[in-house]
A and B are shown apart, each in its own frame.
Chain A
């Protein structure tokens, strides 16, 4: 019985609080149920010293000003080993694979989002 309730809780989400009540109306789930692969985020860096930092400009106005200053601070105050600068061809679409690949070796990436 416990198994049955647990399974029901898994399937019906918020309906789980109503376990034990008689079920009647049946609905087709209209929500997204596509299986997805979940990735675990990497551990946070304790220090930036000696690390490689990627700076991604999404090509919005002013992004270069922000990232120029950030690069300067990273080099002078945080002593990063290197900075990788790259840019999306358009802010209106996801980054193409070639841009992702340029950032792949970085220990951390900072993205200049908007204007």
Chain B
């Protein structure tokens, strides 16, 4: 048992959210000892001998040329981390992905990560057993004669580059691109204990088993609301997370309560299903909201978002949740008037639940590790939904690679909204010009290329732009080309923020004025449509440090 008389036993097998399950499963295998003693990250941990023929893979003829075979799990963060690099490799070499999960999870993975290589499933773990892997991702480089030339488990940029070289491809992984150089993987699915037999369906939300939450007792005479307000809150009263309320909240999902969904930075607390449910209760969520909360917690801990930095910075950034798809109406998210405000239980409680999770599980206390100088009112709750019905273009999640009928959530490390009133302009150019002036002030006026921005168009502004036949991409390119900072703004301010970096900026002409271009590319400006159908008010929301060296927007399916 992990839990003895209520005391969590301290052990620390690996900085990996699946470590607990891996530990216990491996205890039953002789490899565990070998792993403990010899386990450098690059040891293959497979009985497949280099130079020997690989087991037959359906659809892959041994004489058809060299190939890289990659085993992965859809909920393994390390596997997800590796996909963009494998996509690059697939441009010049044959890459075959083998998913250890079921069709639904595999399809979602393929769609969400836009895999550029062939993916097939491994029903019954036949191939996994034949290759005898212990961890995922497991990579096997097969020669043109079908023999194993190299194998590796986990993520390692240097190994990927080495394999790329052996496949006559250019390097696929840069050293400092914001992703760690190496990361241990998760235990292979076929070695995990399965309650309904080893060939049972793979758990969709299961990631690892965490330490069960302890039970706290409040004495008679103590007001539970006052106690919780003092102990857990965000400065506002919370609903006490009683065992009965947690049980009702957990009825919203089928996941086991001790499963770890993610480890939440900056303190990397285990967000188990029951702890997520406890914070959801405190925030006032309905049980159905657990369907959104589990992928939301996964998404907020995605390394691309860089929650560690977002939660510890002195900047204003707070994760803004954007909801798309049918779930908006199923759970009654507000997206009409007051889209950013206190109009719907769904928006308010989902945003608040996330913030409570970041506080209570992630440990980003506003009086401690969260060092934001001025903070952000979004740290109470920051959740909007797109007004897809009033959006004349494709919904935002479709632009991000999902089907219209797939619900999705997007996270953006965001400042507070900056409003723009434009009630008299009648053309797309004039409306977008007004928005571009606000965009130029993102982060700080003189600093270019530093951050991305989100433009929230009101339905009326979107209609004005669309009526003239403009696509969303055209609007975005117009904003990109017309947002800049005049060179004269730097005169007499050599020490001002941005002034010392002008050599890196791109000079352009805007209306005859010499300017530095504000953003890196049109893709740095994201456009969604939200709000009431009356009122020509849009908003610009600045981001935090942009790109792989800071925070990147993430979108996850719900």
Contact = CB atoms under 8 A, between A and B. Distances in A.
24 contacts: A7-B5, A11-B6, A15-B219, A18-B219, A25-B224, A26-B215, A27-B215, A27-B218, A30-B278, A30-B279, A30-B356, A30-B361, A31-B269, A33-B8, A33-B211, A33-B214, A34-B210, A36-B12, A90-B178, A92-B309, A92-B549, A92-B550, A93-B550, A97-B182
A106 to B, nearest CB: 21
Contact of B228 (A18, A22, A26, A27): A27
B460 interface: no
Interface residues of A, number: 34
B220 A21 contact: yes
Interface in B213-237: 213-222, 224, 228, 231-232
Interface in B334-376: 356, 360-363
A93 B549 contact: yes
Interface in B274-309: 274-275, 277-279, 282, 306, 308-309
Interface string A55-96: 000000100000000000000000000000000011011101
B461 interface: no
A23 interface: yes
Interface residues of B, number: 63
B218 A15 contact: yes
A32 B214 contact: no
Contacts, number: 144
A43 interface: no
A23 B222 CA distance: 10
Contacts of A94: 308
A27 B313 contact: no
Interface of B: 5-12, 176, 178, 180-182, 210-211, 213-222, 224, 228, 231-232, 240-243, 246, 263-264, 267-270, 274-275, 277-279, 282, 306, 308-309, 313-314, 356, 360-363, 497, 500, 544-545, 549-551
Contact of B274 (A18, A25, A28, A98): A28
B211 A90 contact: no
Contacts of A22: 219-220
Contacts of A114: 314
Interface in A1-46: 7, 10-12, 14-15, 18, 21-37
Given A25-B242, A93-B306, A96-B181, A37 B10 contact: yes
Nearest to B500: A61
Majority secondary structure of chain A interface residues (helix, strand, loop or mixed)? loop
Given A22-B220, A33-B213, A94-B308, A28 B278 contact: yes
Contacts of B282: 30
A100 B186 CA distance: 25
Given A93-B309, A96-B180, 8 more contacts: A15-B218, A26-B218, A27-B240, A29-B215, A30-B361, A32-B267, A32-B361, A33-B269
B217 A12 contact: yes
Contacts of A31: 232, 269, 360-361
A35 B8 contact: yes
A32 B217 contact: no
A35 B12 contact: yes
Contacts of A36: 10, 12
B48 to A, nearest CB: 29
Which of A24, A32, A35, A98 counts the most B-chain CB atoms under 10 A from its CB? Answer: A32
Contacts of B8: 33, 35
A64 B96 CA distance: 46
Contacts of B270: 32-34
